[in-house]
Amino acid sequence: MGATEDRRRTRIVDRQFQLGLAVRLLLVLTALFAAGIGLAFLPSIYVLATTNDLKSLEPAAAEFLVLHKRLWPAALLSLAGIFFYVILFSHRVAGPVYRIDTILRALIEDRDPPVVKFRDGDYFHPTAALLKELSEKMRASRRITAPRPSGNPPPGDAK
């Protein structure tokens, strides 16, 4: 028995899909984070930009520096965590899509498709059941319509 590659340990099944999803999600979340951080800094920035009174500037400047010190590391950590979560999450989508594509390719090429099996945490289990049913139906259809060797009539046709 030959050694087979264990694809289940790989977190990147479809690099283009998974990294593309992660990058798009990060861009959207970065924009939302930027808007949130802007709103957090806005009162301090407004006071710093519009006030000339030193007694009012000191608390606004201190608040601005504290926010700057605390928010940026939290934002970077959150974005990194979201990126890795999206990679793990997209694995639950990309893996089944990869297996569905493999089965459909086999069906198109008139080969017996591999067994349809998804991991427990994967999405599209109802689709896997449909593909399994379709594969079994096509296997049965091939057995019925398979050409017989010459000189051997099908069972029940003996004369």
Q: How far apart are CA 56 and CA 4, in angstroms?
A: 70
Does residue 155 lie in a domain region?
Answer: no
| Cβ count within 10 A of residue 157 | 8
Does residue 133 lie in a domain region?
Answer: yes
Q: Which two tokens stand for residue 60?
A: 């606004």
pTM check: above 0.75: no
Letter for the amino acid at 48?
Answer: L
Does residue 4 lie in a domain region?
Answer: no
Label residue 152 by pLDDT band (50, 70, 90). Answer: low
Q: Is the pLDDT of residue 36 over 70?
A: yes
pLDDT recorded at residue 9: 57
Label residue 1 by pLDDT band (50, 70, 90). Answer: very low
Write the pLDDT tens digit of every residue in 53-62: 888 888 888 9
Does residue 126 lie in a domain region?
Answer: yes
Does residue 6 lie in a domain region?
Answer: no
Q: Is the pLDDT of residue 13 over 50?
A: yes
- Domain enclosing residue 70, as ranges: 14-145
Report the b/e string of 129-154 with b at 16+ CB within 10 A: eebeeebeeeeeeeeeeeeeeeeeee
In whole numbers, what is the pLDDT of the chain averaged over residues? 80
Does residue 153 lie in a domain region?
Answer: no
Write the pLDDT tens digit of every residue in 94-150: 888 888 888 888 888 888 778 778 888 888 888 888 888 888 888 788 777 766 555
Looking at the structure of the chain, the number of domains it has is: 1
Does residue 152 lie in a domain region?
Answer: no
